[in-house]
Structure 1
Amino acid sequence: MRAAFDQIGLLPRQVWADRILDEARETTDPVHLVRLFDIHPGIAVKYVHAAHPDKALPRIR
């Protein structure tokens, strides 16, 4: 598997992050990202902010 990533010049975490960002572009719901990708709610909010900079979401502490 690693050889395939080496051939295209990407790291697996870059593909993972791109997938989360793509999903965040489809929704403004960070809870959806938390459930789908099993990520921390604060990280999910950051992805939603990155995908929708024009929409303000409350910060999670």
Structure 2
Amino acid sequence: MAGRAHRRWPASINPHLLITAQTAFDPAHPEVGAETVNRPLRRVGHQVGRLRRDRILDEARSNCDPLHLVRLFGIHPRTAITYLYAAHPGRFRPDVIAP
């Protein structure tokens, strides 16, 4: 599926993950709404936020670089560290100085 979409919109300037034929080349069109994505997922017992958190955690398990998580998902560095702690609980010592 990703290959097919890339062939259709290889030079898309739209920064969003989910795009339509109208928004692929013109980000001025409204982005795909959260409710459009959430409604069918809720019917089968899923939530977009949980899926995103699971995806970030999975990436943290395979890559211990917080900067990679920050760049890939646009999260705050502290959030990236939290995901790394969760993904590798025995690997890091707690920081007693940090708030």
- In the aligned structure 1, how far is the partner of 2:48 from the partner of 2:59? 17
| More RCO (CA 8 Å, sep 6+) | 1
Larger helix percent? 1
Aligned: 1:46 with 2:82: yes
Percent of aligned pairs with the same residue?
44
Specify every segment of 5 or more residues in structure 1 that has no aligned partner in the other structure, as ranges: none
Check the 8 A contact 1:45/1:57 in 2, yes or no: no
- In the aligned structure 1, how far is the partner of 2:77 from the partner of 2:94? 11
In angstroms, what is the RMSD of aligned CA positions?
Answer: 1.9
TM-score by length of 2: 0.55
Q: What's the CA shift string for 1:31-53, capped at 9, x where partnerless?
A: 11000000000000000000001
**Max radius of gyration: which structure?**
2
| Corresponding pairs, count | 61
Runs of 4 or more, structure 1, over 6 Å off, are none
Residues 24, 57 of structure 1: CA spacing in aligned structure 2 closer, same or farther, 3 A cutoff? farther
